[in-house]
Every structure is written in structure tokens, then in C-alpha cells.
Amino acid sequence: MNVLITGGNRGLGFELVNVFLQSGNEVVTIVRSESAKQVVHKHFPECIVLIADITNYSELIELEYLKNNKIDILINNAGKGSSGSSVTDTSPYEIEMQTRIHCVGAFNVAKVSYPALTKSNQPMIINISSRLGSMSRNALGEFVGKGFSYGYRIGKAAQNMLTQCLSQELGPNGFKVCALHPGRLLTSSGASDAHMTPYESAQKIYDLLIENKIENGGYYCIESGTMQW
């Protein structure tokens, strides 16, 4: 299979590149800088690395690989942590930036990759989401008082709506488009209850996709199965 993963130079993205390559797939990753590209090539010289800012569509449309090749799975993984857990300490810029990265960026990559995805017999778009983007869980008060940021929750909630839009449009054409919470990961921006390494999560994600255990329009958690939107 041909797999496109955004943000493959660190964290979960790095381990997704690792796991898919170990299993014999052709892996392409989009990173933001030459230094990030060198990180990937140092560890995975066989990986195809493209440089572009996913929030800048004009950069993405210049990527020749996406014009000339097939993609079976797109994993919109690139993301960023956020600060500001109250209306007084959250800047408008933070809200805008989180929405641009997690929602607009994912949309841009899906749009530019669409022609390559249509060449696949079973195209998938997987948006790496978060439990924090669940409107239901937020509405039930699950995260009250836990210090989670406005920006990240809003950005992931917007991304979840993108997932629904894409799944409803593209599902009838044979696509599977899903949101996937990768678990509580032990990363620099991980939550206080984090317990899973990025590699463990990447392996679980790989198994879920390869075993075809997802349905179009689903919202999944690696730890617990399906989640409420």
C-alpha cells in the first residue's frame, strides 16, 4: 500500500512511519522544514519526504508526488499542543492557529490528495483526533477543571466536523473517512493521565486499519473502541 502521513518527523507521526515501513508499505510524509526532513531520512532513508506547510494550500499543490501517484491511506496526523485554559489566558491567535492546523490543514491535505486517493480501490482518510474534540464528552463535563486548553479542544472539534463532512460526501464513492483518538500518549504535550507510548499507539492504529475494523464516518479510540461525537 501507499500511505501518506503528515508530521512524520516526531511523536506519533514518526512511529506511524516506522510501523508502516516495517510492514513493507511505501510511506510518504509531509513535514514543514528541511531539518525535519533530515530527521526522517536519518532513521528511515526509504521514506519519501515532502516539504510543505499543511496550512498553506499553495505549497501543497506544488507537490509533484501527489499529482502522479496513488495513495491508499491518508493519515492526517500533524498537530500541535496548545496553551490557555480559560477565557482570560487564551489568546484569539491561539484559537485561530489551532483551527488552522487541525481543521484547515487536514482539509488542505485531503483536498490536494483526493486525485491520488481516487486511484485506490479502498481509499481511507484517517484524521488523528482526540477525546478532547468530542462535543458529547465536553458537554457531559468530563474535562471540567482538568486544565485542557480552549484552542486544542476547539481545533479538534472543528476537525471532527470536517471528518463528518468528508465521510458523508465521499463514503458513497467507496471511501472510508474516520476520526481516530490515538490514546493517552506519553509525549511532551501529553495529558497527566497519559500511559501509552507513541509506538504502541502506532502499532494499534496499523492493526485497526489493516484488519479493516473501521467503518466510514466512525469516531474511534484506540483504547476503548467507538466514541460519541
Instruction: Give me the pLDDT at residue 192, please.
Output: 59
Distances (CA, A) of 50 to 60, 65, 130: 9, 8, 26
Interval 28-55: pLDDT, tens: 999 999 999 999 999 999 999 999 999 9
Apex CA 45: angle with CA 43 and CA 48, to 5°?
Answer: 115
- Cα separation of 202 and 208, whole Å? 10
Q: Which domains does the chain have, with CATH numbers?
A: 2-226 (3.40.50.720)
pTM of the shown model? 0.94
Q: State yes or no: pLDDT of 74 exceeds 90.
A: yes
**Residue-level pLDDT at 224:** 85
> Is beta strand 48-51 parallel, antiparallel or unpaired with respect to 225-226?
unpaired
Cβ neighbors of 42 (< 8 A, separation 6 or more) are none
Provide the pLDDT for residue 188. Answer: 55
pLDDT single digits (tens) 168-198: 999 999 999 999 999 877 665 545 566 789 9
**Residue range 156-172, pLDDT digits in tens:** 999 999 999 999 999 99
Q: How many helices (H) and strands (E) does the chain have?
A: 9, 8
Strand segments (E) across 39-106: 48-51, 73-76
